[in-house]
Amino acid sequence: MLADADRPRIREQAVALRPMVEQHVEVVDLIDNFVATELETDNIDFAMVLGGDGSMLRAAHLLGYEQLPILGVNLGRLGFLADLQPEQLPEVLPRVAAGEYRVISHLMFECEVLRNGKVIERALGLNEASVLAGPPFEILEIQLYVDAELVTTYSCDGLIVSSPVGSTAHNLSAGGPILRKDLQAFVISPINPHTLTNRPVVDSAERVYELRVPNPLEGTALVVDGKILCQPTAEDRIRITRSEAQFQLIEFSGYGYYRTLREKLGWGGRLKLDE
């Protein structure tokens, strides 16, 4: 079981739920900080993450290249990844114990920063890699290359390269499209592009994506899954490729992808008019 100790309410709920969970499955440990230096996964069948999508993201980073199937229990807000509610556990856990579930593998990516032909920074990501303008908050030029071919130069406040899992995060807020989580593709979404003809682009995850910032601002930053990886220079190339690691999510019949979108995004199908 993985929970966020920095949020006392979540830790208290995790402790309270543990006896009920142990009625159905064996709990090896309760890790409550997401910063364990070494996590032994040999005798673990799956990880249960208690929290929100941020907790799911931290769990994926903790597991690194030793990903386990993850069962997400939403103790946060929206919960696109952690979409089960605590009250559903008595129904779901017997199905987990009986093996009545499926594991869906999702794309993860490698983000590397190359300077003079050498990799100076590297990160494993699940949601997105973003170049953000930062102070003094002027228009930033960002070049996009796909398989070494120049696509365009964006004039914008930033650029997001998102996985399908991350398409409902920063990309969605920036007006980008929602990609089904099991697609093998990336979406490139400019933030506030100065040219209205610049629109989000979706392309295969088999390609190599590179970003260059010819004239970075003082506060320009490369951010991977919400954490600053570095401040790119004009000489740097930011390379994004699919990773061998795959995020593994436990799903059940009756708890489908479109049901999650419908409930989380309020896709009711009808407008409610004031009477």
Q: Which residues are catalytic?
A: 53
Please give the Cα distance from 6 to 179 (Å, whole number). 31
Distance of CA 94 to CAs 98, 129, 189, 213, Å? 6, 38, 41, 52
- Measured over the CA atoms of residue 197, residue 200, residue 206 and residue 207, the dihedral's sign is positive
Tell me, what amino acid is at 114?
Answer: L
Please give the Cα distance from 174 to 88 (Å, whole number). 32
H or E element that contains 129:
strand 128-132
Helix (H/G/I), strand (E/B), else coil: 48: strand
Please give the structure tokens belonging to residue 177.
């499209």
Ordered DSSP codes for 153-175? EEEESEEEEE-TGGGGTHHHHTT
Please give the Cα distance from 123 to 230 (Å, whole number). 11
Look at the block and give the residue holding tokens 């900080």. Answer: 33
H or E element that contains 104:
strand 102-115
Residues in CB range of 234: below 8 A, 6 or more apart? 212, 213, 214, 215, 216
Q: Are 193 and 156 in contact (CB under 8 A)?
A: yes
Please give the Cα distance from 2 to 72 (Å, whole number). 10
